[in-house]
Structure 1
């Protein structure tokens, strides 16, 4: 693919900056000349900021919208995502797989990086299995964080991406914010792609994808907010994947994808997190997937369904 994720995402960032007042976002220059876009930390931000942030995180290769749906009557507002380049948009860009910390500066900063800057740095194993090769003189990084990264992290990111620091844009929003809530729930398709990859499926064979999950109410407590955004996908998310290849493999993929295949399925995520004493990596990775999945085999037209929505667990998590 000759498409540059970072060039497309940079165009999104420029539009966000031009519309900063309406989006209620803050724009600043960092000490190394980087562009910093606060979508919900020290500014109000909001749903529109989150939708724009999510599309930027997809490298400009996806559409994210908010609209009504009847799947969960008590939570009718649903975040919908679609992309015709699922492996590239979701795994090469949106997936939060780049661990960034300020080891030298001692500030205590830590965040998982997502967005198309990852495709330039290629620091994660997942890139060994992706066909996309990124070229760009600028980079866009998205962080689930309540503050911008310190200069040491900016320098590392720019160096790993092979760009000047003043060609780097960093967008950030904490989980507790509306924008942060939206951009996390907008990962409903991405988690399906990531789980498919973990199951050994060739993700380039997923040629189109659409998904949706309920908009959860934000919460000022980090663990509660994190739990709600995860539960929106785990118990309320639904995804439709269109794949090439044998019908039998499409059926097998559908059976393996839903969150209910995980040993830790069945309780709100905040409870699971506390059960493992806050050790995120002790939680079964297979839990991070949509509740309901449909996989269509393009060559035969057969569709396979697996999983189910759980209104009771969504209600328990969302507090309603």
Structure 2
């Protein structure tokens, strides 16, 4: 069966998902299957974008008529569309491919969803768009600090600037999502079990480190919600502190470092990285999150009673256990 073949409008409404082969998309398959939801998995078109502003992205999307028509046909009869496609490259450099996947694609899918009469389009973005600010929230304020976070922020801005909005569009800002087999999580486990594991001060700062299970449950809750949902919602906090994360991932207590030392080290590191074209911004951001975390403001999920059960400690413990089986001495 052609994965992009039209959905029969006479059949019961289904959900359409783009990016099902990726980390989040594959986890989303299990969540939706457990809810008995009929899903059509679609292949996302590969796009490139030269624009670096929302108006330019909208102009580029407007000329992709054939791609929009193909997608609209594939979405016919769908009640919900979820875009889990994109490039998750926090340490990558800027490129037309990155902007195409993370900024142009969401606009094209939203336009196609409008044309197909879809009720709700859910786009998975990243809380990285708010950068280094002390807290994350659901406001339009963004402070991207890397090529990846700028591409995600550009996608959000372009979606917000669209004038054709027959379909309800909701952007979910995913936080620092972990999974037992994700390379990012395995790296965290290795660091947490090493002498490098450390926190700033007492390690009581909240962290947005989260589980893929909670994200997919939240995504399903947003997509199925009967009432109005804000245009931007933040994946809810799972209650972990920076020390909690390192204990779960490494099975040991992290070192406590003076806060002034951590701040000074990061300031120097970012200065050097900026001179080298942001080459080390990704690793430095991970170090910053390990030391200081980032608090989250309560948002729509808390108000609507749609906060999923926390799973991050279990995910990190599972990843640590799996690593110990492979490398008992590690």
Shared fold (TM-score, shorter chain, > 0.5) = no
Q: When you count strand as a share of all residues, which structure comes out higher?
A: 1
- Find the structure with the greater CA-based Rg: 2
Q: When you count helix as a share of all residues, which structure comes out higher?
A: 2
The normalised TM-score by structure 1 is: 0.28
The normalised TM-score by structure 2 is: 0.27
